[in-house]
Structure 1
Amino acid sequence: MSRSSGRGQTEPLAAIVAVAAVGIGLSLYAGVLDATLPGERDRSTAPAALERVDRDVAPGGVARPERIPGSHNVGPDGYRTNVTLTAGGRRWSTGPTVPPDADVAGERIGVRVAPATVRPGRLRVAVWR
């Protein structure tokens, strides 16, 4: 039987290039389609803001109420942020009034209410545009 038996063959490099081109084309199509579809595109920003506020207000894991004023400024750019810390019947808050549609995240945290006195409390962060 001769080497040119009539069956079609493709060079391996050409096949790899063709498969890569199809893969890239599908990826671009999916990206454009996703960008044009309607729907909610805004991700939840409150958990990330809570993390940033926690690092600012509670270095070392214990929140310090004297660090609350101005802590709303560490929120994400382009968003309004309200920070509230509560412990032992007391409340510390900073930032604008929270609207009902705000994205809210909170966590339990130790709060230093006096020298050598730590009480259980709650740190709450609300974020909105």
Structure 2
Amino acid sequence: MLRSSRSKGRAQTEPIAAIVAVSVVVVGIGLYAISMQTVLPGTSQSATADRTIDRVWDDIETGGVFYAHDDATPLSDRVTSAALPAGATVAVEVTAVDEGRERAVATGAFPTGFPDETNRADVAALDRSVEAHGVPDEASVATQSIPVAVENEADVRAGTLRVSVW
């Protein structure tokens, strides 16, 4: 007659081998997550421009329209620090269709730390640099179609809001 023991025949793992196996799995999952980060929504650099354009639009629109006529407030006085990503430089351009062509009706550049850690000279220097050289190639850019009041409040035309973040 054979006697069977419940304790015999069960596989047992050494504690150190189990810890090493679990560690390898955790490291593998971590490396996979890091490699997939640029593919996931909301984690790429362009997601920064996409979020920034929405916040900038909230700052510069009035009643769903951007007012660009002569007595309109400049962009540098409309955009708040809450609309700008921390540690980034931002350029904003608003264009409107005029005689069949798009023309810039408002531009502004906002250095890192705007407005608390910068002054008007910093903003003006960045404006000149962007105007002369454009935005850097590595900047993330988002565009959005917007209505623009050009000559007066009744003269609303199609326009584009372009936000570059670097």
TM-score, with structure 2 as normaliser: 0.52
* Residue number among 51, 60, 70 corresponding to 1:48 in the alignment: 51
Superposition map of 1:6-85 within 5 A: 8=10, 22=22, 26-31=25-30, 43-44=45-46, 45-65=48-68, 66-70=72-76, 71=79, 73=81, 74-85=83-94
Q: Any idea what SS the aligned residue of 1:79 has?
A: coil
Q: CA RMSD in A?
A: 3.6
Cα distance in 1, alignment partners of residues 30 and 62 from structure 2: 40
Quote the offset at 1:112 in angstroms. 1.9
Quote the offset at 1:123 in angstroms. 0.7
Cα distance in 1, alignment partners of residues 30 and 63 from structure 2: 42
Quote the offset at 1:80 in angstroms. 0.7
Alpha-carbon distance change, 3 to 60 in structure 1, aligned in 2, over 3 angstroms:
farther
Counterpart contact for 2:92–2:107, Cα < 8 Å? yes
State the identity as a percent: 33
Q: Which runs of 5+ in 1 are unaligned?
A: 10-17
Q: Which runs of 5+ in 2 are unaligned?
A: 12-17, 110-126
TM-score, with structure 1 as normaliser: 0.64
Cα distance in 2, alignment partners of residues 119 and 56 from structure 1: 19
Aligned residues: 115
